[in-house]
Amino acid sequence: MLEQVMSLMGLIASIWLVLGVYSAAKLYPNYNHSEQFCSELGAVGSPTQRFSPLINNYPLGLLFCLFGIYVFNLEPNIWLQLTGLCVVVHGLGTWVAGFFPMDSDPYTKAPSRDCNIHSWAGLFMLLSLLLAPIFMLIAPLSAINSIAFKAFSIMSLIATIYTLMLMKKAYVQKQKVGLYQRISYGTQLVWLSVFSLVISFS
């Protein structure tokens, strides 16, 4: 039973994040999911600065780390172990991003030290879930890593990279950046959720 729950941690974390962001946003007057970053819920001076990390970053970091450790110990396969490490790094980055809040103005030209740390943590989070599907593409075929899952990993990578480009454009234009952030991160979480399900039912 415990092993089954551990195998589903990737899916649970994804669902938790959606519900957590939605719940925190309800307590943030006039918060706009389409125009604002998720991190603005925990930004300096926001109405949910302390609440958002408590229900999002800290429990999510734990879920990601537990799932990553589970994946790492599944079998003695270097590529699967690297994938597990990526998920652990994602969890650690989630904690750091929650502890060091971004500035109230996401477009500031002079970010604070905490905001810079937050941004670096976000970069590691992004890269970790970009590398994870790449490692699974390299990994040999197995019950977990079928041809179908490899094909899904390729599609997920393409979708993530494409939506990242859209998010960068939206950031420059200061328009719909929240929407494209959610779509981009969402594609990574969908991959993680499917990976979690594949492990659970393999």
Secondary structure of the chain in the HEC alphabet? Answer: CHHHHHHCHHHHHHHHHHHHHHHHHHCCCCCCCCCCCHHHHHCCCCCCCCHHHHHCHHHHHHHHHHHHHHHHCCCCCHHHHHHHHHHHHHHHHHHHHHHCCCCCCCCCCCCCHHHHHHHHHHHHHHHHHHHHHHHHHHCCCCCCCCHHHHHHHHHHHHHHHHHHHHHHHHHHHCCCHHHHHHHHHHHHHHHHHHHHHHHHHC
Write out pLDDT tens, residues 140-177.
999 899 999 999 999 999 999 999 999 999 999 999 99
So what's the pLDDT on residue 144?
Answer: 92
So what's the pLDDT on residue 176?
Answer: 95
Write out pLDDT tens, residues 49-91.
999 999 999 999 999 999 999 999 998 899 999 999 999 999 9
Task: With a cut of 90, say whether residue 2 has pLDDT above it.
Answer: no
Task: With a cut of 90, say whether residue 1 has pLDDT above it.
Answer: no
Number of domains in the chain: 1
Write out pLDDT tens, residues 118-130.
999 999 999 999 9
- Rounded to two decimals, the pTM is 0.96
Report, as an integer, the average pLDDT of 13-36.
Answer: 97
Domain around 66: 2-28+36-201
Task: pLDDT band for 188, please (50, 70, 90 cuts).
Answer: very high
With pLDDT > 70 as the criterion, what percentage of the chain qualifies? 100
